[in-house]
Amino acid sequence: MKKKIQNIKLNVVSPESTFFSQYVKKIIVSGIEGNLGIYPGHRQLLTFIKPGILYIFMLEKKIEYIYIYSGILEVQPSFINILADNAIISNKINLNTTLKKKYRLENELKKNIISMEEKLKIKKSLSRQLCKIKILEMLKSKIYTKKIF
């Protein structure tokens, strides 16, 4: 009889640094075709991930959050690698700085003299700021755990 694996090693890395490397119970990540729940013993998988929140269910019954800009997800039965273009760990987000950037970007979008390319760049950056705010709100509200399970 095969022994059931209870946890899985998660590595979240970018070209510049390692954001996370620990054993976890499971993760939920935004794949290109929707959210993916990855548990220990999952079949092999290689796919792109889109910008969104990576939910990490820790061994000690808490949830960590990392915002992934985009990247590649590799799943093996005993480990998960996320090769991220960039990432933000929830406990490193400063609310005041994020709000200031959000307001500045919103004001930039209101200008009619910017090019379509600039608008797309601003919208992408604004989306990142909004996601940071969402992460902080989730941590504050404690409602997030009921939505995920």
Q: pLDDT tens digits, residue range 88-144?
A: 887 778 889 999 999 999 998 887 777 889 888 888 888 888 878 877 877 676 544
**CA angle, residues 128, 14, 102, in degrees to nearest 5:** 15
Let me know: does 64 contact 56? Beta carbons within 8 Å: yes
Question: What span, in angstroms and rounded, lies between the C-alpha atoms of 95 and 89?
Answer: 13
Note the pLDDT tens digit of each residue in 46-74: 999 988 889 999 998 888 888 888 899 99
Domain definitions of the chain by residue range:
8-91, 93-141
Q: What is the DSSP string of 119-130?
A: HHHHHHHHHHHH
User: Which residues, other chains included, contact 63 with Cβ-Cβ below 8 Å and sequence gap of 6+?
Assistant: 55, 56, 57, 144, 145, 148
Q: Is the pLDDT of residue 148 over 60?
A: no
H helix and E strand count, the chain: 3, 7
CATH superfamily of 8-91: F0F1 ATP synthase delta/epsilon subunit, N-terminal (2.60.15.10)
The model carries a pTM of 0.71
